[in-house]
Amino acid sequence: MHHYHIPARLRATCASRPAWQAWLDELPGLIERCAARWQLTLAAPFDHDDFGTAWVAPAWRADGSAVVLKLSAPIFESLDEIHALRLLAGDPTVMLLDGDDAALALVLERCTPGTPLRALPLAEQDVVIAQLLRRFWRPVAAPQRFASLAHMLAVWGDETRADRARWPDAPLVEAGLALFAELPRSSPGDVLLATDLHAGNVLAAQRAPWLVIDPNPFIGDPAYDVTQHLLNDMAPLHADPWRRIRRLAELCGLDAVRVRWWLFARLAAESRDHWDDDLLALARRLA
């Protein structure tokens, strides 16, 4: 068997859960089987923080076409990525060229030049993110296989409650948890969500100016979907949170108040390694 480099960030992520570590232990064999199955010549994997939950590497098929092999850890937020890529069929995401549902293995369109959207000024990022989200959001007819946003938040809420002894501001965290339960029920209209769309998960391509990679699909309130982009650049939020929220809400055609509620809930109640951070301070400003 060949030696395959495993990025440090992926190792660190998988070390936190036994099931993820077991997957990591089996990863070299999985890479070998996928390379043989799809006749791929692999290069070294991408090694940066945006790929902390998957092994992702450039590859070439037998006909010389450039692709990407992505092998995802069994993290529940990303279990349905392959189904979202099939449904979206390249609009506004990379194309799924082949895949194995059970193995969470994907052969994807290669984005060239592949420059991340974060290379652009924030104002330009905002416009692109809004355009991509509005194309991503679509009703999904029942029966559908995607879990609800409420389910994802219930899992996150359980993780937060298990950490109650370290909460520095219990009333604030409880208020966030209450919104995790209430906001999905009051959604004005549920759609397919990306849930992890930010400027590091949007790449420059040839087929389209920008394509989304790494969607974590759930069904729920589109106002939630703006929050990840907001949280991935904290300086403008600290400078003027309400102005920042209004701008993204207007670009996306959303109710700014709902975006504010969602952002507050995530800042106040999302599980985290360190509770003595500036997220709660920002949540207090939004409360």
As annotated, the active-site residues are: 196
Closest CA to 20 of 66, 63, 57, 75: 75
Tokens 């232990």 sit at which residue?
A: 25
Are 163 and 271 contacting, i.e. CB atoms less than 8 angstroms apart?
Answer: yes
Neighbours of 147 (CB within 10 A): 17
Residue 265 makes CB contacts below 8 A (sequence gap 6+) with: 176, 177, 179, 180, 183
H/E stretch holding 182 reads helix 170-185
Residue-wise DSSP of 96-151: EEEEETTTTEEEEEPPSS--BGGGS-HHHHHHHHHHHHHHH----PSS--PPBHHH
The whole-angstrom separation of Cα 181 and Cα 156 is: 11
Distances (CA, A) of 257 to 221, 245, 279: 13, 9, 19
Residue 246 has which token pair? 């209004």
